[in-house]
Structure 1
Amino acid sequence: MKKIALAAALSLAASTAFAGGMNQPIVEAAPVVDTVTQTSSSNGGLVVPLLLLLVVAAAVSAN
Structure 2
Amino acid sequence: MKKFAAPLLALSLALTSTAALAGGPVVVVDEGQPAVTAETPRSGWIVPVVVGLVVLCAVACGNDDN
The interval holding the TM-score normalised by the smaller chain is 0.5 to 0.7
In structure 1, the residue matched to 2:21 is: 16
Q: Structure 1 length as normaliser, TM-score?
A: 0.52
Per the alignment, do residues 57 and 21 of structure 1 end up closer, same or farther by CA in structure 2, a change over 3 Å counting?
Answer: same
Q: Cα distance, 1:20 vs. partner?
A: 5.7
In structure 1, the residue matched to 2:54 is: 52
Please identify which structure carries the higher helix content: 1
Deviations 1:19-47 (A, max 9, x none): 1653451313332213332x753x24532
% same residue: 23
In structure 2, the residue matched to 1:32 is: 36
Residues in 2 aligned to 1:62 and 1:15: alpha-carbon distance in whole angstroms = 97
Q: Structure 2 length as normaliser, TM-score?
A: 0.51
Q: How well do the aligned residues superpose, as a CA RMSD in angstroms? A: 3.1
In structure 2, runs of 5+ residues without a counterpart are 1-5
One-letter amino acid of the counterpart of residue 29, structure 2:
P
Kindly name which structure, 1 or 2, has the bigger radius of gyration based on alpha carbons: 2
